[in-house]
Every structure is written in structure tokens, then in C-alpha cells.
Structure 1
Amino acid sequence: MPLSANLSLHQTQSLVMTPRLVESIKLLRMNHHELSQFISQKAEENPLLEISSDEVEGDEWGACGDDPLNPSPDDAADSGSHNREEALSSDWYDDVGCAGTTRLNGELDDKYSNVYEDCGSSDLDAPGSDDQRQSGSSGKGPDYYLSRHVAGPTTLGHHLAQQIPFVLPDKVDRLIAQYLVDRLDDAGYLQVELIEVAERLGTSLTAAERVLSALQTLDPPGVFARSLSECLELQLRQKDRCDPAMQTLIENLELLARRDFATLKRLCGVDEEDLLDMLGDIQELNPKPGLGFGRRAGDTLPDVIVRRSLEGGWLVNLNPNTLPRVLVNQSYFSQVTKGGEVYAFLAECLRDAEWLTRSLNQRANTIMKVANEIVRQQDAFLLNGVDHLRPLNLKTVAQAIDRSESTVSRVTSDKYMLTPRGLFELKYFFTVSISAVAGGDSHSAEAVRHKIRAVIMQESPDAVLSDDDIVDMLKKGGVDLARRTVAKYRQAMNIASSVQRGREKRARANSPVREDSSMVFPSKTQSE
């Protein structure tokens, strides 16, 4: 059959990812910081979009002066026993204020008799301002918020800035110092090379080193270190404890991490008793000196708040402080005459603004659905702790809320839930299943790791448990786990082998060294 060229037509259907659909998917994955930046950018591009500047009244969790984990009777009466998904109307982003927290638009009632009812009246006028709120004698006025008058936590940068003038009188040195302060991480470690600082600021490397040496004498001890060894050395020098043997020890922390005490004794030139004293001194140091201060803006805030209701169920709410408050200026568009380039431009802006508000509403509803299902699945964990954490996967939640697994994965990415048990990332509740003995209920991997840690913490120095012993104890508790899996979980939790643990426990039993501190310090990049 001869070959020939021809043209033909046929129809097909396929799903096309439009730009708006792509952005909607991205919105699901964003945390509240990224979402805030995204909306700010949109507001700059779209004249019809406005970001509401009204702050949510009450404490930092958005509640009206109440503890988010302890509901009031009024809250319980106004809320359902499990969720408030129906409370998310299409205009949730317009106003997220709490009921009854209206501002005083008129003149302040500034008589002492209204503030201190129990102390009699007074003719003196109390000083006031527009930002004040009324308060009764009990301090429980509906419009009074104590948190507005309480100083926030001191940040590491502010604490250091107060000390810099005392060690660096020269203004140029202070500028270099402030640049170095801005390059500290939350743990207090310097995250920039001095040669880069010198080139960036147009100064000499000698000047940068001189400023850094002065800054390393500030409080807290160990701040401005560039490594864990330097951090410990700075603290030891302030204690006048950095002798040659101690210097050798902190220069060989990798041997300490491997618990190679024989090599450490040989390198330091000390006996076992002196080595234990040196380890005791190191255990008193702080490997992350900056974490004792208030952290910078951008700290983790919960996207979802879960609290116990008076009826015994759970109240699940979105955190108003993480919800964007976006307004669409319809009146501005209505004043534009139809026709022309301006009208066409604003019409497109209006469509984009309405799409954004719908996408934000859908994002909030999806987060609520996922959070409610997680709370329903992990009810035992919320009541009794990590031992009762159930195995859970994305597919189970996706089927329950009629969404795809990819949607659930995006929603749980970098989102956090505040519960009576603490603050958890949503992905924390998704763990693999570990089979049980004799066909019983399966266990979550996180719960099993918790059991392993608890068993090891309770062992005695004379009867240290091997991995096989732990396997036998877990089987008695209904957990069917292989020895290699126990070893893998133990290593993931930075728990030493039975031989190393036995050596350490015997050494601690014969020395005054505290037993509540680990002999291995985490690296400065490891999270708490």
C-alpha cells in the first residue's frame, strides 16, 4: 500500500490547568506567612483589592480574652460539638472580629468612680486616650484587653542591642555589630563569614574580627559562635574553665558523640574521674544560647485551634489571626463609566478579586474539613496521649471528606494545630501502621517509638535491655515488631546501643554527674 499524506479532524476532551486553577492549588499549600505575602502582592496589582487593617480583638489566638483550650459556657452554647464549618460564610474574610468587642466611638468615660466602683467616687479626672477600653472594678470589662498593656518578650536582637554601646563606643564598630546581630539565627549562631561582612560593609577583615571578639563577650554566653565547639568554648572561657584538657575535649565532640571515652581520655591526658568531671561541666552549658529569648516575627502560629467542649466533644476552629481579611471595593468599580480601556481593566480586576475571595473561602473550608476528620480519627490521642495515636494515612482522610489525596497532602503541608496536648503539625497525625499480635488493633509508628523510649528510660544500670529484649516486651504489649525495626527506631531517636547505655549508666551511678542531661549535644541546625 503506497504511503500518502492526508489531513483529518477529530475531537478529544482533556483537563487543562488554567492559570487560576494553578494558583488555587498553590493557595492550598501556602502557610499563613506565604499567604499574607501573596495577598499583599495581589493587592498591589489589583486596585479593587483591599486588605483590612482591623486586628482581631482579644489574645493572640483570636479568642475574646478566653483561653482557647478552655471554652466558656457561652462558647459551648454557640458552637457545635464537633465543628463550625457552617459558620464559614462567603464573607468570612471581611470581618473576623469577636462579638461584643466594639470600639468606643464617643468620648471616654474617664471618671474614677466607673473604674474603681468598690473604692468610692472621685472628682479627679483620669488620663485617657483613644486606645483605652472601659473596665469594671473586677477588670472584666467587655472591651478591656490586658495583653495590650503587657510588654512582649524581649528578642535576642533587642537584648544584644542594649549591651553593644558598653563594649563598642565607636559608631562604625556599632554599625558592623548591628549587621552581625541581624545575621544571627534563633539559636544565637552567626550565619555569615567575616570576609563577606568586610566586603559588604567596605571595612577591613581585622575590624570585623575585632568587633566579633567584643560581641562574643556579651550575654548570653556563647552567642555569636560559628560552631558548636566555639559556642561551648566561649561559655567555658567566661567560667575560666577552658584549660588545655577541656580545649581538647571540645575540639573532639565527634568522639563524644560516638561515646569513645577511651580515646578521649588518651587525647586529653586525664583519667576516668577527671573526664567525668569535664563532661559534667559541659553538660551545664547551653548549646543554643539564643533560644531563651522571644523569637522573631514569623514564629509558628496554629492554623487550627482544638479545645474541649463542655458537652465532652471537641470544638474545632480556624485561628482568626492566620486568616487573611480581604475586601473587594465594589463601589469604586460601579463609579466607572462602561466602555473604554479603564472599564475593561477594572472588570478584569473585579473578576480576579472575586476569584481570590472564593479561593480563600474554599481553602478555609478544606482546612476545616481535614482538621475535623483528623480530630475525629485521633480522639483517643487528644484524650490520653501519644500511646493512643492511631495509624492514619492520606487516603483515609481523603475518602472521608470526598477530596483527592493530593489535596489533603497540600492542606496538611506546613499547617499547625493547637490542641490541649500541645502544638502539632497536621502531618504529625499521619503515621504508618504497625501490625499487632494475634490480629489485634494495629499501632501507629509514633506510638511505638514512644513505647520504645519509655521502656529504655525505665531500664536499670544492672539490667540494660538489648533490642531483642525490647522486641519481647513489645510483643507482650501487643506490638509485633522485628528487631531491625526496633534498632532503626532507636537510632532515629538518637538512643545508644545497649552496650553504650550500660557503660554510661554505670559511669553515672559512680559519679555526681547529672543524669537528666545527654552526653551528646545536638548540632546548631537541629530543631528543638
Structure 2
Amino acid sequence: MSMQLKSGLWLQQTQKLAMTQELSQAIELLQYSSQELAEYLEEKTMENPFIQIETPPMEYFDRWRSRKQTKRIHDDKNWIEQIADHSYQLADYLRLQLSGIKVSKTIQRVLDFLLLNLDDNGYLTIRPEEAAALLKTSVDEVQTAVSIIQELEPAGVGAYHLQHCLLLQMDRDTNAPPLAKQIIRFHFHEFAEKKWKGLSKTLKVELSDIQKASDYIQTLNPRPGAAFQSSRSNKYIIPDMSVSMHGEKIELKFLDETMPKIVFQKEYFQEVSNNHDQELKMFLKEKFQDYQWLLKSLEQRRETIQKVGLKIVEKQRDFFLKGPQNLTSLTMKEIAEELGIHESTVSRAVRGKYMQTPYGTLELRYFFTNAVPARDNAEAISSRRVKGLIENMIAQEDKKHPLSDQEICDRLKMEGIMISRRTVAKYRDQLHIPSSSKRKRYES
């Protein structure tokens, strides 16, 4: 084999290797969220001394610091079906209040122990007898420490369960309706299950009186510890793009300012390049090439995400103009075919990417939906659109006569959406909306 042929083969193999490495890097970067990308670039600066990251100014992060939102029919007032998942430094807040209270060393030791046994809702997870046995102290001393915690803010903290939590709050409120106290103390389960007709007979009161008591109870906090949410669970989302509305015109902007940028340190590179060491020159060449590949991969990532974002806006035009209930059926395959790219590329492009919309900050995956059959299969209606319609129907219903699942089903059929009552019930459950019997209000 001639030297010329060997050189040609070596060059061809080198080019193939470079292309494979570049393609692999581009694929890797595409699937990263903005946070993962920042972490990846930080790692690259450790490997390449000539790469520097320019971090976006903090005002950009403050500007876009909003949680992922999806519109739901329920809000904070409807807390009975919702119990929080995380708490944030509640124990520290309680310790701060306890610092102004003088107690014995024994009680202080019990207090410290109990604070470590509060769950995410602010409830105690250990009974006085258990705590006393573990601490080798008396139950009375534990009870004293529990009483101290239950006097702290937020009201309701240190309860053993929801019923106890509500009672602690009502005990502090001089305006708490006596009927509300009676209901929670002696008829909690009947009340929660909304067996109000039987309850009204037992208590010899009108249904409207129970409704008034319920309205008051709904003002109480069922999870006092949830206000102290953990920074690890309280994740702020930085959108990759934003949509703004100008009449019938929809404008998509890629938020470059929130993305970390890489800069090549030319002066440092040139300074080191003056050295004539061959190994160093090869090292410098390799690092400069790494930078170029990375820059190209970042640009390719940006272009792909932007193209996918534009297609989403184009395909989901009614969503942006008319609201979430108008989300239409859309698949990644459909986007891939129109853009002339592989479906897996679309999947990577939407993973962990967010769009700021008039209806909240939504993950791009939100816009790709399953479909349910429509009348004569003439069109596909997205499950999210159906859920949006169900939400709107329930929001506008007469609360004295809430819509049953069958009535919702019948109304959807009039809209050309043929789904079963069971599917309506499933979607309602997924939206965390109670059944019609639990939504009913009893007014006088």
C-alpha cells in the first residue's frame, strides 16, 4: 500500500471520527434542559482551559422565575382533596420562635426531638408515649413540649392529623362558628364524605347552615407546613422561548439571554501558542477544535429547538388564540415529517424545554397529545382539549345543581365529542375535580 493511499485512508478515518464525535455531541446537547446544559458546559471548562462561560445576568432569571403552570379548575380554597408534598425549613422557623421561650433542659431536648419528627404538612409523626420511651422521659413532659409547639405559628402546626389540625386553628379563632367546631370534632368523616343530609338531621340544622360552616372550614389551612417549601422541590423554571400575542398575530421569541454562552479565550491561547513544543501544539489544536465543535453543536441545538417551537405554535394556533381547551391533537411524528428530521430528534428537542405562554410556563411536551374519537372520526380531538371543555363546563355549572358525569358526557356529544361516561369520570379525576355530589352547594 502506497504512502499516499495510507495518508488518504488515515485522513478519511479521522474525518469520520470527527463527524461521529460532532454528531454525538450535538445529539447529547439537544436533549439537555437549560440547567443540564449549564452543568455540561461547566464540565467542559474543566476539560478545556480556553473555554469560558458567560453566565446570564441575574435579572433575566428573576424575570422568568415562574413555576410550571397548567390551568386547573380547583384552587387553594379546595384543599380537602389536596395535601402538600414538601416543607421547607419549618423546623428552623419554629426554633426561631422557641428561642424566645425559657424552658428546662429536658423540655428543650424533647422540643428538639419533636421538631425532627414533623412531616411535610407540619404534623407530628410520633405519639407522646413513643417519644417518652425513646427519650427516657415522662409522657407529661412530652405533652408539655407538644403543647408549646401547638401554640407556635403557623396555626395548626404540631397536630397529629388533619382533623386535629383544623381543631387547633379553630381553638385560636374567637370567631369560629360553634357549628363548625362541632362538625369537625364529632362528625368529621360524615362532613368530609359530604353526607350532609344525614348530618343535618343528626344536628337538627338546615343544609344551608352546614354549607356556611363548610365555607368557614375551607378558610383554614389543612397543611401549615406546606408554606415552607423546600428549595429542592420548589424548582424555578427558566423558559427556552416565549410567546406573545398581538391581536391575531402570535410571536415566538427564543430566549437567548437566559442561556449560558461560551467564549474562547484568544489572548491566553495565543500566549501559550508561542511555545514551539510539538505536543503542546497538538494539544492546542485539539482544544481549539473542541471549542469549534461545541459552538457548532450549541448553534445546531438552538436552531432545532426553535424550529420545533415554531411548528408547535403553527399547529396549536387555536390554543394560543382561544385558550387551553382548544389544544388539538399533535404527534411528534407529524412535526418530524414536516421538518424533515427524525422523530427521536423532536423527542430530544422537547425534553426539558419550556415555553412561556399567556396560560403559564409549559413544557413543550404539553403540546403533544393523545386523541379521543370524534363524531364519524372526522377529526381527532385531544384529550387535553376534552379536559379543558370539562373544566369549563364545571366552572360554569349551577353549584346547587352540579353536572353529573352523564350530563357532561351528553353535552360533549352535542359538541361532536363521542366519549363514554366512564372516560368523563376518568378525566375529571385526573383534573382533581370531585364528583357532582361533593361539588354541590346548599344555600338557604
TM-score after normalising by structure 2: 0.67
Which structure's relative contact order is higher, taking Cα pairs within 8 Å and 6+ residues apart?
2
Q: Select the structure that is richer in helix.
A: 2
Alpha-carbon distance change, 285 to 305 in structure 1, aligned in 2, over 3 angstroms: same
Alpha-carbon distance change, 249 to 393 in structure 1, aligned in 2, over 3 angstroms: farther
- Tell me if 1:331 matches 2:267: yes
Aligned to 2:443: 509
Gaps of 5+ in 1: 1-13, 63-155, 195-202, 511-528
Aligned to 1:315: 251
AA aligned opposite 2:236: D
The Cα offsets for residues 105-163 of structure 1, whole Å up to 9 and x where unpaired, read as xxxxxxxxxxxxxxxxxxxxxxxxxxxxxxxxxxxxxxxxxxxxxxxxxxx97999788
The Cα offsets for residues 207-256 of structure 1, whole Å up to 9 and x where unpaired, read as 99999976665544356878756654553454376968635666x5xx76
AA aligned opposite 2:307: K
Aligned to 1:360: 298
- Tell me if 1:305 matches 2:236: no
Displacement of 1:16 in angstroms is 13
Aligned to 1:28: 30
Aligned to 2:4: none
AA aligned opposite 1:167: L
In 1, are the aligned partners of 2:123 and 2:161 still within 8 Å (CA)?
A: no
Aligned to 2:54: 52
**Alpha-carbon distance in 1 for matches of 2:147, 2:27:** 49
In 1, are the aligned partners of 2:90 and 2:122 still within 8 Å (CA)?
A: no
Alpha-carbon distance change, 256 to 30 in structure 1, aligned in 2, over 3 angstroms: farther
Alpha-carbon distance change, 26 to 223 in structure 1, aligned in 2, over 3 angstroms: farther
Displacement of 1:419 in angstroms is 1.8
- Tell me if 1:419 matches 2:421: no
Aligned length: 382
Q: Which residues of 2 match residues 207-222 of structure 1 at below 5 A?
A: 217-222=151-156
Aligned to 2:380: 442
- Tell me if 1:373 matches 2:308: no
The Cα offsets for residues 497-524 of structure 1, whole Å up to 9 and x where unpaired, read as 44x25xx52x5224xxxxxxxxxxxxxx
Aligned to 2:76: none
Aligned to 1:467: 405
In 1, are the aligned partners of 2:123 and 2:159 still within 8 Å (CA)?
A: no
AA aligned opposite 1:283: Q
Match of 2:442, SS?
A: helix
In 1, are the aligned partners of 2:242 and 2:254 still within 8 Å (CA)?
A: yes
Alpha-carbon distance change, 54 to 25 in structure 1, aligned in 2, over 3 angstroms: closer
In 1, are the aligned partners of 2:60 and 2:258 still within 8 Å (CA)?
A: no
Task: Report the identity percentage.
Answer: 32
| Equivalent position to 1:285, from 220, 236, 239 | 220
Alpha-carbon distance change, 299 to 462 in structure 1, aligned in 2, over 3 angstroms: closer
In 2, are the aligned partners of 1:190 and 1:225 still within 8 Å (CA)?
A: yes
In 1, are the aligned partners of 2:167 and 2:185 still within 8 Å (CA)?
A: yes
Gaps of 5+ in 2: 1-15, 65-86, 127-133
**Alpha-carbon distance in 1 for matches of 2:230, 2:435:** 36
Alpha-carbon distance change, 191 to 454 in structure 1, aligned in 2, over 3 angstroms: same
Displacement of 1:408 in angstroms is 1.6
Aligned to 2:98: 167
TM-score after normalising by structure 1: 0.58
Alpha-carbon distance change, 362 to 437 in structure 1, aligned in 2, over 3 angstroms: same
- Tell me if 1:408 matches 2:343: no
**Alpha-carbon distance in 2 for matches of 1:408, 1:451:** 28
AA aligned opposite 2:265: N
The Cα offsets for residues 62-110 of structure 1, whole Å up to 9 and x where unpaired, read as 8xxxxxxxxxxxxxxxxxxxxxxxxxxxxxxxxxxxxxxxxxxxxxxxx
Displacement of 1:257 in angstroms is 5.8
**Alpha-carbon distance in 1 for matches of 2:218, 2:121:** 19
AA aligned opposite 1:482: S
Match of 2:328, SS?
A: coil
In 2, are the aligned partners of 1:164 and 1:215 still within 8 Å (CA)?
A: no
Q: Which residues of 2 match residues 480-491 of structure 1 at below 5 A?
A: 480-491=418-429
Match of 1:301, SS?
A: coil
In 2, are the aligned partners of 1:471 and 1:481 still within 8 Å (CA)?
A: yes
